[in-house]
Amino acid sequence: MSEASRSWQKKGWIIAGAAFAFCFALIPLYNIACEHVLGIKLDQGAADAEAAAALTVDKSRVVTVQFVANTKSKLPWVFNAEKVSVQVHPGELTEAWFDATNVSQRDIVGNAVPSVAPNSASLYFNKTECFCFTEQLLRAGESKRMPVRFVVDPRLPKDISTLTLAYTFLENDIATKKLAESNQAAAPAS
């Protein structure tokens, strides 16, 4: 192998290593940009219930939390919030309910994708329990009532008086297919 070939090979390894390091660094940079620059809360897990209960309730302030319930167009579910909105005091643990009905003739597994608006408020909106944390199975024709328990952090900026909590249900195609295969395998032969 010539000296020029070895030099190019060495440069290739350096470029490949730099590209790998750059890609690896994108994940924490993305998290920093979303959470600290754009105010988008990426953590989808439950907030610590004890920490939420320990917050001081700000009785001098009222925040309106609006609820929006959507389904992706191909998902044959009816999905609604039981209330359009609630008034809460920051620091107060609140519960809201959503209803879903599978209007199809097949069992379907769905996932709810949440979002909070304005984006900057998502850092102050903490769910201690939510149907969005897990897959939801609705059998053909089944209806289900699902809770979300949340607390608005008292540190929510004073200029924000209304939050919108929106959910969009999507079919989990892989889980639904596995469920159908499991149901088919368990069905007695005719």
Q: How far is CA 27 from CA 23, 24, 45, in A?
A: 8, 6, 18
pLDDT at 136: 96
- Residues in a beta bridge with 169: 71, 112
d(CA 10, CA 134): 48
DSSP 83: S
pLDDT in tens, 104-123: 999 999 999 999 999 999 99
d(CA 92, CA 1): 72
Closest alpha carbon to 63 in 155, 166, 152: 152
pLDDT at 8: 73
Residues of the chain with pLDDT under 70: 1, 4-5, 12, 16-54, 189-190
Single-letter code of the amino acid located at 129:
E
Q: Is 81 helix (H, G, I), strand (E, B) or coil?
A: strand
pLDDT in tens, 149-173: 999 999 999 999 999 999 999 999 9
Statement: the pTM of the whole predicted model exceeds 0.85: no
- Give the 3-state DSSP-derived string for 118-185, with helices as H, strands as E and coil as C: CHHHHHHEEEEEEHHHCCEEECCCCEEEEEEEEEECCCCCCCCCEEEEEEEEEECHHHHHHHHHHHHH
pLDDT at 49: 58
pLDDT at 176: 87
Instruction: Check: CB of residue 146 under 8 Å from CB of residue 99.
Output: yes
Single-letter code of the amino acid located at 99:
D
